[in-house]
Copies of this chain bind each other. A is one copy, B any other.
Amino acid sequence: MSSPDLASPGLEQQIRELTARSRAASVVLGEVDTATKNAWLLRVADRLKEARETILAANTRDLEQAAARNISEPLLNRLALGEDRWTTMLKGLADIAALDDPVGRIEDLRERPNGLQVGRMRIPLGVIAIIYESRPNVTIDAAALCVKSGNAVILRGGSEAIQSNVALGEVLRAAARDVGIPEDAVTVVPTTDRAAIDFLLRSERDIDLVIPRGGPGLIQKVSETSRIPVIKHDAGVCHVYLDASADPKMATEIAVDSKLRQMAVCNGLETLLCHRDAAGTVLPQVLEALHAEGIEIRGCPETRKAFATARPASDEDWAAEYLAPILAVKVVAGMDEAIEHIRAWGSDHTEIIVTASQDHADEWLRRVNSSTVGVNCSTAFADGYRLGLGAEIGISTSKLHAFGPMGLDDLTSRKFVLRGEGQLRE
């Protein structure tokens, strides 16, 4: 390991040195050209292939230790670097190498009446800290996106993945040395000491942005204690609203796709809302189809009238991000009540209307202020790849800086660039 092993007593000082090295590396990295950054991405892929046995051995040790501590099955699944995940990780590097580099791009170029040319040029943010749980493949994905957008990155994964993450971090840094990028452009925090997170969150001088990815506990802790700007990737309590004019077949397909194919992810359907006028016609067949696929239906009284198998829903169901084969269902008087319900219980994530009315579609898109708002499509499209961003670092649920799926551009800022010929104030 080239990163020093951090011991608790001197931890604060060690984190301070670590973040200062990241800051220094970010200044150099900010000027590195696209070809070199792409060479690094491809070199990481090559080195991953070379180090495959070492990395998988580290991952196996993490898995064994996690199993010995009786960690839950889904968590073990997320921790495992299986064949599929390995292939996806390698493909991700090539995909990101193929994306346009936002750094240096000039946008909104125009000429002022005095002849001054004004544009906005994209620049890196500087140093980004990612605090995440379990999935070691995030180490590679997040580092790839941050470095491609010219940012140094500090990676702090879950304690149960520490050996996998340190092994992956070595590959990322070795590839940096190979191509002449400062190795401190990527740092895996090499300790499971939780105090390290507190010290990171106080390093406002050397870190520009913190992105927490994980459960509600992690998000809340980071938001409350950070002195650095935070972009939250919070829960997804996503809604599909069946309008009175919803086509039954389309409604069924969209509900089934949004629930079943997105079961464990934040853009999955959690609450289905249905216009009262469709409760006796469209709703029963939609719920029948979901139920046939093994989904448990929890409904309001009107839902239970339309679909007798439904269990009663409580307020907890309206707030739930199940990530499981359960669906909350509510019949509403119309769009106003649907929107009120979403404002009261939703998480500003993804809300879809199924309607045959152009006016209702327009009204929905205008009035619902979640990060992804759609008409007649699956909730699955709240996703950076599917929206055409090329890749995503996550899905922001806060409105500042970025809202919704975040791609490479969202890891940059814009400076004003001015070209004059001696223009003065007047």
**Contact residue among B208, B261, B388 (Cβ-Cβ distance under 8 Å from A112):** B388
CB distance from A175 to the nearest CB of B (A): 25
Given the complex, which residues of B lie within 8 Å of A372, measured CB to CB? 415-416, 418
**Contact residue among B123, B227, B378, B424 (Cβ-Cβ distance under 8 Å from A224):** B227
The CA of A229 and the CA of B343, in the complex, are separated in Å by: 21
Is B403 a contact partner of A413 (Cβ separation < 8 A)?
yes
Within 8 A of B (CB), among A350-388: 352, 361, 365-367, 369-378, 380-382, 386-388
Q: Mark A91-119, 1 if CB is under 8 A from B, else 0.
A: 00000000000001000001010001010
A223 within 8 A of B: yes
The CA of A124 and the CA of B367, in the complex, are separated in Å by: 11
The CA of A422 and the CA of B399, in the complex, are separated in Å by: 28
How many residues belonging to A are interface residues under a CB distance threshold of 8 Å? 70
Given the complex, which residues of B lie within 8 Å of A422, measured CB to CB? 247, 250, 253-254, 376-377
**Contact residue among B382, B419, B425 (Cβ-Cβ distance under 8 Å from A378):** B425
Is A387 a contact partner of B121 (Cβ separation < 8 A)?
no
Cβ-closest chain B residue relative to A343: B27
A1 within 8 A of B: no
Does more than half of chain A's interface fall in helix, strand or loop, or is it mixed? Answer: mixed
The CA of A264 and the CA of B51, in the complex, are separated in Å by: 59
Given the complex, which residues of B lie within 8 Å of A253, measured CB to CB? 422, 424
Is A377 a contact partner of B420 (Cβ separation < 8 A)?
yes
A192 within 8 A of B: no
Is B416 a contact partner of A371 (Cβ separation < 8 A)?
yes
Is A373 a contact partner of B415 (Cβ separation < 8 A)?
yes
Given the complex, which residues of B lie within 8 Å of A116, measured CB to CB? 377, 381
Within 8 A of B (CB), among A63-114: 104, 110, 112
The CA of A121 and the CA of B373, in the complex, are separated in Å by: 10
A305 within 8 A of B: no
14 more CB-based (< 8 A) A-B contacts, given A261-B425, A381-B423? A27-B343, A31-B367, A104-B366, A118-B381, A204-B223, A209-B400, A229-B229, A262-B425, A365-B417, A374-B417, A374-B418, A375-B418, A377-B423, A404-B415
